[in-house]
Amino acid sequence: MPKTTAFHSRLEPLNETKVWKNWSGFLVAPQFKYSLTNEYYAIRSSVSLLDTSPLFKYRISGIDSVRLLERIMSRDIKRCKPGAAQYTVWSDEKGFVIQDGVILRTNEFEFFLTAGEPTLRYFNSIAREMKLEDVTVEDVSEDFGILALQGPHAHNVISQLTQDATDLKYFEAARARLCETEVIISRTGYTGDLGYEIWVPTNNALTVWDALMTAGEGYNIAPIGTTALKMARVEAGLLLMGVDFDSSRFAWVDAQRETAIELGWSWMFRNLDKDDRDFIGRAAIEAEIKNKTSRWKTVGLEIDWHSYEAVHLDAGILPPKNDLYRESTMSIYRRTEIPWDYAGYATSFLFSSLLRKPIAIAKLPLDLTETGTEVDLEVSVIRKPVNVLAKVSSLPFFNPERKTAPMGGGK
């Protein structure tokens, strides 16, 4: 039987659909309301509250914690100063991505990390291999719940409960007191909007939930499920493991694996030639950059609205749009003389109600990745494959100023 998170007793009555799914062995709501689009707009128009507690959580501490993380992480952990947060990945020796996650550095020798899959033994095995003496990796997954408070009014809500969030810049983190509880707040999120993530000790989870919901009432705060979150993250151009890529750890063949560069994270290696970090996968990544051996690049795809309309109208039906979010692979073809000239594939597809058009996250061979390049995306119209025009775009699709704007001015 699935477990429940520390917030479940509050979430249960709020779930109008009474549908639950399993996330890493915990019950979570895919959606709370019948109208998914309405639920989604809490993220873009008011403020949303999301329980992401099923994520695996680790505390990495000790004098040697930096050394350990420097070895494991493909991105330079030293650039994550105390009080900062960092989006990072860890790769295998062949340069293939094992996982991505967000790491918070609460002080010189203490880090908190979220991950989609367990990684305690893996981290410890590296520490043992390195013979590090002063580092502890603790699985604190069940010690904390995590709430994501996301949306234009997120600061208006959290600032009623603590002043400690106000000074946080984008991707900063701090220990704070909230409702007499020690929490960790980071100005991070998976929505591409203004927002905070709050690590709450499990035994005070409900107090914090109640306080946030009460503070948010006047701003129409709404609990959101995982689907609305995923819709927002497509607009934000944020990848999802298991959907946009798979962990190299349990892949059978390299065709199932991807490198950080193929996933669009080459910016993590901007200063690679200037540092001497000895991280796992470095040689492979260097070779990939030098020899330009990336098989794909991850790009945004804007589907041409007129083309999308036309292929459906011509068939006598309305194009599907409402509440449309898909995680199935869709094929992409070159627009050449050759029919169905396979080029790549889309992994996440969304009809963005906000952007008023369908968008997708796609993998394309390098010669097709320039912004504006035209490709064909295969959709199914009355059970038949049909191509619609799509254009390569940069990610993110949506990037509001408020996401990174300073909040010091208060309301």
Residues 6+ apart with CB under 8 A from 310: none
In this chain, which stretch among 60-68, 138-146, 244-252, 320-328 interacts with another protein, using CB under 8 A? 320-328
Q: Would you count residue 41 as binding another protein (CB under 8 A)?
A: yes
Going by the DSSP 8-state scheme, the letter that residue 286 receives in this structure is H
DSSP states of 308-369 as a string? HHHHHHTTTSPPP-TT-EE-S-EEEEE-SSSTTEEEEEEEEEEEETTTTEEEEEEEE-GGG-
Residue from 10, 21, 30, 38 that binds another protein (CB under 8 A)? Answer: 38
Contact pattern from residue 147 through residue 186 relative to another protein, giving x for each residue in contact according to CB under 8 A and a dash for the rest: ------x--x------------------------------
By C-alpha distance, which of 55, 53, 2 is closest to 27? Answer: 2
d(CA 57, CA 68): 17
In the complex with another protein, the residue whose CB is nearer, 54 or 225, is 225
In the complex with another protein, the residue whose CB is nearer, 292 or 356, is 356
Residues 6+ apart with CB under 8 A from 284: 91, 93, 94, 95, 259
| Dihedral, 114, 185, 325, 351 alpha carbons, nearest 10 | -140
Q: Would you count residue 326 as binding another protein (CB under 8 A)?
A: no
**Could you say which residues in the range 203-232 bind another protein, by CB under 8 A?**
217-220
Going by the DSSP 8-state scheme, the letter that residue 278 receives in this structure is -
In the complex with another protein, the residue whose CB is nearer, 30 or 118, is 30
How many residues touch another protein under the rule CB under 8 A: the total is: 34
Q: Would you count residue 355 as binding another protein (CB under 8 A)?
A: yes
Residue from 114, 353, 387, 393 that binds another protein (CB under 8 A)? Answer: 353
Q: Would you count residue 314 as binding another protein (CB under 8 A)?
A: no
Contact pattern from residue 99 through residue 138 relative to another protein, giving x for each residue in contact according to CB under 8 A and a dash for the rest: ----------------------------------------
Beta carbons of 50 and 190 less than 8 angstroms apart:
no
In the complex with another protein, the residue whose CB is nearer, 38 or 331, is 38
Say if strands 222-223 and 48-51 run parallel, antiparallel, or are unpaired: parallel
In the complex with another protein, the residue whose CB is nearer, 101 or 151, is 151
Q: State whether residue 151 is helix, strand or coil.
A: coil
d(CA 14, CA 209): 13
Q: Would you count residue 351 as binding another protein (CB under 8 A)?
A: yes
Using alpha carbons only, give the angle 62, 68, 72 rounded to the nearest 5 degrees: 145
Q: Interface with another protein by CB under 8 A: which residues? A: 17, 33-35, 37-38, 41, 44-46, 153, 156, 217-220, 305-306, 309, 313, 316-323, 351, 353-357
